[in-house]
Amino acid sequence: MTDVQMNHLFSAFSRSDNSSALQIDHDGLGVSLYLDKLIMDQVGGDIDVQSVIGKGTTFTITWPTPKEVSVGSQVVTSN
């Protein structure tokens, strides 16, 4: 993935092939990664992207660990 593609990766309606999300002759609208990033930001998580042209791209998603979790009728607190 190029630097230009990486800079727009989490933008709404952005596609890696530079086609418009409004075109009908393609798959996808270019909103999935935008929504993923929005959700992760809201819950306190993170999405990291590492890419090497010609080798591939790795996405790492880090979910926050809740301090309190409901288990049945009990609330379990972690440190």
Task: Find out whether 19 and 13 touch, Cβ atoms under 8 Å.
Answer: no
Beta strands 74-77 and 68-71, pairing class: antiparallel
Q: What is the predicted pLDDT for the residue at 60?
A: 95
Q: What is the predicted pLDDT for the residue at 68?
A: 60
CA distance 52 to 39: 26
pLDDT digits (tens, 9 = 90+) for 2-28: 888 888 888 887 776 655 555 555 567
Three-state SS annotation for 44-71: CCEEEEEEECCCEEEEEEECCCCCEEEE
pLDDT digits (tens, 9 = 90+) for 31-61: 888 999 999 888 888 999 999 999 999 999 9
Q: What is the predicted pLDDT for the residue at 26?
A: 59
Please determine, for residue 72, whether its predicted confidence score (pLDDT) is greater than 90: no
Domain residue ranges in the chain:
3-77
Q: What is the predicted pLDDT for the residue at 64?
A: 82
DSSP 25: S
User: May I ask the CATH class of domain 3-77?
Assistant: alpha beta
